[in-house]
Structure 1
Amino acid sequence: MQVFHTPAAVSVSFDEPNLVGSAGLVPMMELAAESGLHQLAGRRLTVPTDKGANAGAKVAALVAGMCAGADSIDDMAVLRHGAMKRLFNACYAPSTLGSFLRSFTFGHVRQLDAVASGVLANLSGRAPVLGSPGTGQLVYVDVDDTIIEVHGYQKQGSGYGYSGVRGINALLATATTDTAAPVILGQRLRRGAVGSPRGAARMIADALATLKRLPPGPGARVLVRADSAFYGHATVATALKAGADVSVTVRMNPAVKAAIATIDDDAWAGIEYPEAIYDETTGTWTSKAEVAEVAFTAFTSRKKAERIPGRLVVRRIPELNPKDTNQPTLFDTHRFHAFFTTVDPEALDTVAADKAHRGHAVIEQVNADLKDSALAHLPSGHFGANSAWLVCAVMAYNLNRTAGILAAGAFAKARTGTNRARLVNIPARIASSARRIRIRLPEAWPWQQGFERLFTAVHPPPQPA
C-alpha cells in the first residue's frame, strides 16, 4: 500500500468535533448499563464522599476506557475526544479518575469485588457466557497467579516473586467449558513476594460462590484445576466442601514416587501427544507419552478425618538425557507428571482425566490477554488503586467477552484485543437529525455483520406503531 497523493498535497488538522474513534463503546456501555454496573457500584461502594461522589459513573468510565484499550490512567483521556461527550455523559478527566482510584482501601476493593461478581451474574443472564453444558458435562474452574512486572521502588507491595522479576502478584480464578471461552470469576492483587497458595482457599470459595450465580446448566459438574503450587489441604478441602471435584498437580514427594512405583508396566496407555501416531485398526495411540493411574489418598500426614481419597493420574515421557546410562532406574529413564483428582473414573477415565487436566493451560491465555490490555501496567504507586484497577480490568474483560458472544461467529472465542480492534475501536462521525443521533460508520467495514449483531442485541429496533 502506498500513499496516493504526494506528501506536499496532504495535510492534517485536529479540528473535527463530530468524530469519535471508538464507536463500539456505544453498544458496549449499553451492555454494561444493562448488567447493572452503574447501580451496583453506586450502591455498594463507600469511598469517601470527596473522592467517591458518583462512584458508579467513575467505575463505568474506568471500564469504558479499558474496553477502548487504555492501560494507564493517562490513557483515560481517550474518553474525552471529538464527539464523545455527545454520546456519553460523565467523561471524567484522567486526574479525577486517578484521585478516585487512590482513595480505595482494602475494604473498598472487596466491595468492588462484589460489584464485579454481580455484573458477571447479570451478564450471564444476557448471554450464555458458559455455553450450555448439560448433564454430566464439566465446568472447569482454573486457579493460577501471575506476576505483573513493575519498575522502580515506588510501587507499594512490589517485590521479587517466583519469576525472578520485580512485580506484583495477581491471583485469578476463571470458568470455562468445552464450548465457551473463559470468563473471570474472581481476582485478587497481592504483594510480589507472596507465596502462590496464600489466600487461594478464599479465592476458590468466592469463585465457586460466584459460579453458582451463573446458570451453568442442569446436571453440570464443576472441576477445579490448579498446578502444584496450590496442592494443599486447605484449597482441596474448600473445593470439595463447595461440591466441586479437583484436579491438582502434585509435587514428586516420596509418597507420590512410591505410588508411581506400584504401577504395572502393562497399565500404561499411549495418549494423543506431539508426534503421536493413531492406529485405526486397534483404535489406540502409539505415543512417547503414556498415562496410568493408581488409587491414592492425599494428605496422609493429617488426621484420618482430613485425609482425602482419590486417584493419582500419572503421565510419563522418556527421559532424553538420563543421568546414568549404565544402570538406568525407573525415575532416570522417564519423566513423570502426576496430578491428584477426585473425579469418578466412570465420568473420566485415565486418558480423559489427563486431557482434561492439561486444559488448565487455558488460564495462561487469560493472563496474556489481560497483560495485552489493561494489565500491561499497574498505573499507580498506591496498592489500593492498583487493586481496584485489577477489578475494573476484569469487568472490562468479562464485558468484552459477553459482547463477543452477542456478536456471534468468530467473535465468541476471539481474544479481547481482537474484539477491541474489530468491534470497539471503529471510527465514526456523529450526525443529528430530528433530535436523533446517527452514528455513521466506515463503508465496507470488514466486520460489519458482527457489529450489527452486537448493536441490535443491545439496541433492539423500534416496534411498529
Structure 2
Amino acid sequence: MQSSHACSAVAAAFDEPNLIADAGLVPVVRLAERAGLPELAAEVLRIEGARNSAGAAPAAKVMSLVAAMCAGADSIDDTDRLRHGAMPTAFDGVRAPSTLGTFLRSFTHGHALQLHAVHRRLLAELARRAPLLPGADQVAFIDIDSTHKRVFGRAKQGAQIGRFKGVRTLHPLLATICTPIARPVIAGVRLRRGKAADARGAQRFVAEALATAPQVGATGLRVLRADSQFYNADVVAACRRTGTCFSITTGANPSIKRAIAAIDENAWRQIHYPTGVPDPDTGELIYDAQVAEISAYTAFTGRPKAEQVTARLIVRRVRDLAKPATIGEQGELFPAWRHHPFFTDSPFETLQAERHHRHHAVIEQVIADGKAGPLAHLPSGHFNANAAWLILWAMSFNLLRAAGALASAFHA
C-alpha cells in the first residue's frame, strides 16, 4: 500500500465532539474525587499573593495536572489533551496549559511541602479504598533510591553536572512501599539539584517514609532496603527509632573487606538464579552465586559508641567473569570473585534475607515508569515548579495503582 495524497494536502484534527481519546480516565478521576483529592488540595494548598491569581482554585488545577499525567502527559502543553474532543463534556473545570504553567511557577519550597502533605494523605485514603498493599500487615518493604534525570538548558534551575561528566541533571529522591505479593506505591519524592550527594537529606526523608508506611496499612514487620549511598549511621538510627528493620548495601570499605576475607570457605552456601543476571563488564549471564553470613558485625566504628550498630553482614559472591580463570596453558591459581555485601537486622533466614534484598531493584521499575512518562522532561525552568511536578506524578502513579487494584489483581 502507499499514500494517495501528498503530505501538504493532508491535515488531521481530533475535533469530533462525541469522541473521548482517554475513556478510562473517567473512573480514575472519579476515584480521585472519592479519595478526596480536590478537598485535600483546597484545604492544604495555600498560595497567596501570587501574580495573576496563580494560586486561585488549587483543587481544579491539581486535578487537571494529575488527570493529564494519568492520560500520558509529560509536559505542561500536553495537559491540553483534556480539552480535546468530548473531554469538556466528560469533565468540568479543566484548566488551560498556560494557567497550569502559571500555577506551577508560583510554587515555593513551602508550597511543595504542602503538596507533599496532600500526597501522603491521598495515599492513605487510596489504601483505605483499594487493596493496594495486600499482606502489608505481615511484611512490608520500604525502598529508598535516587536517580539522575538528564535535563537541557543552562537556565533550568538546579540543573548541574554531578555524577555524569558533561551531563546536566536534576537528582530526585524516591521512597516506595511494597509487599512480597504487591507492587510498589510511592510513599514520597523529593527533588534535589543535580550535584547533590546521594544521601543528602536522606535521614529526614527516610523518617517521613517510615512514618507514612503505617498509614497505608504496613503495620507488621517493616524492612527498609537501600543501596550503599544510604549506608550511614543516621539512616540506620532513623530505622531503629521507628522499630523498622534495615537491609542496606554496604559497599567495599576496608572494614568490610577484612570481614569478608575472614569468612571460612566452608561457610559459603551455593544458590542458583532462576533467570540469569548479566555480568556488568562482559554482559555474560550469571546463574550461580554463593552466600555467607557474619552474624555479628559492628558498623560505624568511627562514630561514638552509642551510634555504633552490631547486626548481620550477609555477603553474596559471584565469579568475576572479566578476569579469565586461565591464560594459555596456565591453570587457575585461585578464583576471582565479585562480592556484594549488605548490612541487615531483619529476622529472615540468610538465603531468604539475600533474596529479599535483591528485590530492592523493584524501585528501578518505578523510576523507569516515571522517566518513560511524566518525568520525561521535568518541563519547567523553575526548580520548585519541577518539584511540584514530581509530587503530582507520584499522585498519578498511586492513583493508577489503586485503579488497577480495584479492576483486578492482575492489573494491580
| Fold shared by both chains (TM-score > 0.5) | yes
The equivalences for 1:228-247 within 5 A come to: 228-247=228-247
Superposed displacement of residue 273, structure 1: 2.0
Distance 1:134 1:112, change over 3 A: closer
Distance 1:144 1:377, change over 3 A: same
Query: Are 1:128 and 2:111 counterparts?
Result: no
Query: Across the two proteins, how many residue pairs are aligned to each other?
Result: 392
Task: Indicate if the aligned counterparts of 2:260 and 2:315 stay in contact, CA closer than 8 A.
Answer: yes
Superposed displacement of residue 132, structure 1: 2.6
Query: Are 1:117 and 2:120 counterparts?
Result: yes
The amino acid of 2:289's aligned partner reads: A
Please state whether the residue corresponding to 1:156 is helix, strand or coil.
coil
Alpha-carbon separation, structure 2, partners of 1:12 and 1:305: 69
The equivalences for 1:137-148 within 5 A come to: 138-148=139-149
Distance 1:337 1:185, change over 3 A: same
Task: Indicate if the aligned counterparts of 1:270 and 1:287 stay in contact, CA closer than 8 A.
Answer: no
Partner of 2:384: 384
Alpha-carbon separation, structure 1, partners of 2:331 and 2:254: 21
Alpha-carbon separation, structure 1, partners of 2:411 and 2:76: 28
Partner of 2:172: 170
Partner of 2:42: 42
Please state whether the residue corresponding to 1:71 is helix, strand or coil.
coil
Q: Deviations over 1:271-304 (max 9, x none)?
A: 122679xxxxxxxxx9741000112011111111
Partner of 2:363: 363
Q: Deviations over 1:335-360 (max 9, x none)?
A: 1110000113xxx1111111111001
The amino acid of 1:250's aligned partner reads: T
Alpha-carbon separation, structure 1, partners of 2:15 and 2:82: 17
Query: Are 1:202 and 2:201 counterparts?
Result: no
Task: Indicate if the aligned counterparts of 2:130 and 2:402 stay in contact, CA closer than 8 A.
Answer: yes
Structure 1 gaps, min length 5: 277-285, 413-465
Give the root-mean-square deviation of aligned CA atoms: 2.4
Identity over the aligned pairs, expressed in percent?
49
Superposed displacement of residue 321, structure 1: 4.1
Partner of 2:403: 403
Superposed displacement of residue 333, structure 1: 1.9
The equivalences for 1:49-448 within 5 A come to: 50-135=53-138, 138-164=139-165, 165-216=167-218, 220-273=220-273, 288-294=288-294, 295-322=296-323, 333-344=336-347, 348-412=348-412
Please state whether the residue corresponding to 2:92 is helix, strand or coil.
coil
Please state whether the residue corresponding to 2:148 is helix, strand or coil.
strand
Task: Indicate if the aligned counterparts of 2:42 and 2:58 stay in contact, CA closer than 8 A.
Answer: yes
Distance 1:11 1:254, change over 3 A: closer
Please state whether the residue corresponding to 2:147 is helix, strand or coil.
strand
Alpha-carbon separation, structure 1, partners of 2:265 and 2:133: 40
Superposed displacement of residue 216, structure 1: 2.8
Structure 2 gaps, min length 5: 277-285
Task: Indicate if the aligned counterparts of 1:322 and 1:328 stay in contact, CA closer than 8 A.
Answer: no
Task: Indicate if the aligned counterparts of 1:171 and 1:187 stay in contact, CA closer than 8 A.
Answer: yes
Superposed displacement of residue 192, structure 1: 0.5
Please state whether the residue corresponding to 2:102 is helix, strand or coil.
helix
Q: Deviations over 1:241-276 (max 9, x none)?
A: 111000001121111111112211111001122679
